[in-house]
Each structure stands twice: as structure tokens, then as C-alpha cells.
């Protein structure tokens, strides 16, 4: 099976797009909702939380785990790949979502200045600046942390006027850094659920770059290039959804992210 891990439910926006082009694969999704959001935490705590989630997914029979979380990808991915996997799961793979996004920026946008909306941890890591510069050094990147958005979304307050007020505030701060920004990367998978709200509060000529389709195509390409991994993955259309905080709120929100009803099984990470 293919595993998807996120601090909460935002990663479902990635899984939704992957399902569209690879429906035959079996998937396990794990949202660490009880400890979301990850953004305000320190690097070591984010690493430990992510490591626990990855281990749980491997224990459920996955061959490859996608960190469908920008914060985990920014802070924990490299250490997991270089230290954790070689010791504990040498035959398994973990992929992130920031590098694939950075690689595609030049193909999805003609912008010269790009804004990135993300959690505090993602923006403070400057990982988008570093990775985009490797491929497109001419681009200027302006990061904007949005610490209130994930807690509001995870609380299920997607219709609350306070969400729009917070979103407007962060967008104003972004454009204060540069009025020339003409593309915005949604550098947190939770933001996919408020893409229309973001679009409503930016100039019409500014393009929004969402990660779902990019990651789906990149994952399909990765598996085609690694038949030794692809051959181990079940392809019977099985779906398993796990959460560390099962509740009616989680199920309702998951339906908004994924576009269909979802039944979750509660699990514990430690």
C-alpha cells in the first residue's frame, strides 16, 4: 500500500488528486489530528511526531510514505531519509512534497516573484527559497507565515468570518513585502480547502499554485521509474483512514477535503 501522512487533514488534498490518476492503488492515510498543528513546534518535536507517524504507516504494510505535509517535509524529511530509514526500515521509502513542487514552479508559472503561504515552521526553514533557487535562481521568493489558518481549519470553522479576516491579514502582509508577486504557492496542504477564499482576496492576475496535481503526477512518475517499489504495492483499491483524534468533526472535515464521506479508525502514536 501507499501511505500518506499529515499533521491533520490537509494531506487529503494530495490523496484526492493521487486517487484520480492512480485509482487502482491501495492507500493508507494517517492524520495526527490530536497534535495538530505542527507549525508552532520546534524541529525536534516535529521530527519525532513525523517519525512516529511514518513508523505507524510502515507497520500497516505500506511500502512508501508520502509526507503530505509541508511542515514535516520542511523540517523532518531529510533526517528521516538519512538517519531513521537506514536504521529501522532500510527497504522502505519516504518522499516529501516541497522538492517536487519547487521543481515544477518554472513549468506552472511565468512569475518573477512568488509568494509562499505556509506554517511558521515551513516559512522559517526557508526551504522553498533554497529548493526553488536550485532550479530557478532568477526567481524571488517571499514567504508569509499564517499561524492561525491551520488551527481554524482543523477546528472546523471554515465558514467563520474570522477565517477570512485572518486570510486577508496574511495576504496584505505578503503583498507589503512585494507588490510584484504574481504567483502564490499554497505551502500548506490545509490551504487547499480555502483556495477560493484566497483567490477572492488577491488581484485577479495572481496565480495560485496548489500542490495536489503536481504531487500526484510526480508520484506516478516516481513509481514508473522504480518498478522494484511499485511491484510491492497492493493495487486492489483498498482505502484505510487513520486519525489520532477520532470525532464527528474529523469525519465531517475530511469529507470537505476529500469530496466524499470518510470513516476513520483511531490510532495512537508514541
- Residues with a catalytic annotation lie at 69, 188
Q: Per DSSP, what are the bridge partners of residue 115?
A: 142, 184
CA dihedral 145, 149, 150, 152 (to 10 degrees): 160
Q: Per DSSP, what are the bridge partners of residue 207?
A: 183
155 contacts 8 by C-beta, under 8 angstroms: no
H or E element: which one contains 214? helix 212-225
Q: What is the DSSP letter of 157?
A: -
How far is Cα 232 from Cα 2, in angstroms, rounded to an integer? 10
Cα separations (Å) of 83 from 30, 79, 98, 175, 176?
Answer: 22, 5, 20, 39, 40
Integer Rg of the chain from CA: 18
Parallel/antiparallel/unpaired status of strands 64-67 and 93-95 = parallel
3-state DSSP call for residue 97? Answer: coil
How far is Cα 165 from Cα 81, in angstroms, rounded to an integer? 39
Amino acid at each position: 500500500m501507499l501511505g500518506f501522512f499529515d499533521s491533520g487533514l490537509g494531506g487529503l488534498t494530495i490523496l484526492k488528486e493521487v486517487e484520480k490518476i492512480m485509482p487502482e492503488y491501495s492507500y493508507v492515510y494517517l492524520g495526527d489530528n490530536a497534535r495538530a498543528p505542527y507549525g508552532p513546534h520546534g524541529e525536534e518535536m516535529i521530527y519525532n511526531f513525523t517519525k512516529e507517524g511514518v513508523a505507524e504507516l510502515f507497520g500497516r504494510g505500506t511500502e512508501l510514505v508520502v509526507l503530505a505535509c509541508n511542515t514535516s517535509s520542511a523540517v523532518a524529511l531529510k533526517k528521516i531519509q538519512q538517519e531513521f530509514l537506514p536504521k529501522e526500515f532500510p527497504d522502505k521509502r519516504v518522499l516529501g512534497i516541497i522538492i517536487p513542487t519547487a521543481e515544477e514552479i518554472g513549468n506552472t508559472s511565468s512569475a518573477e516573484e512568488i509568494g509562499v503561504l505556509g506554517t511558521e515552521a515551513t516559512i522559517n526553514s526557508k526551504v522553498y527559497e533554497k529548493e526553488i533557487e536550485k532550479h530557478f535562481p532568477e526567481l524571488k521568493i517571499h514567504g508569509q507565515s499564517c499561524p492561525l489558518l491551520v488551527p481554524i481549519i482543523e477546528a472546523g470553522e471554515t465558514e467563520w468570518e474570522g477565517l477570512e479576516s485572518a486570510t486577508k491579514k496574511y495576504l496584505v502582509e505578503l503583498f507589503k513585502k512585494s507588490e510584484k508577486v504574481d504567483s502564490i504557492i499554497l505551502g500548506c496542504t490545509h490551504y487547499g480547502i480555502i483556495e477560493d477564499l484566497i483567490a477572492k482576496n488577491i488581484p485577479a492576475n495572481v496565480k495560485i499554485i496548489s500542490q495536489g496535481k503536481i504531487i500526484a503526477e510526480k508520484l506516478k512518475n516516481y513509481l514508473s521509474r522504480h518498478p522494484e517499489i511499485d511491484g510491492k504495492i497492493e493495487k486492489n483499491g483498498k482505502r484505510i483512514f487513520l486519525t489520532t483524534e477520532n470525532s464527528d468533526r474529523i469525519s465531517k472535515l475530511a469529507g470537505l477535503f476529500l469530496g466524499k464521506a470518510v470513516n476513520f479508525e483511531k490510532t495512537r502514536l508514541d
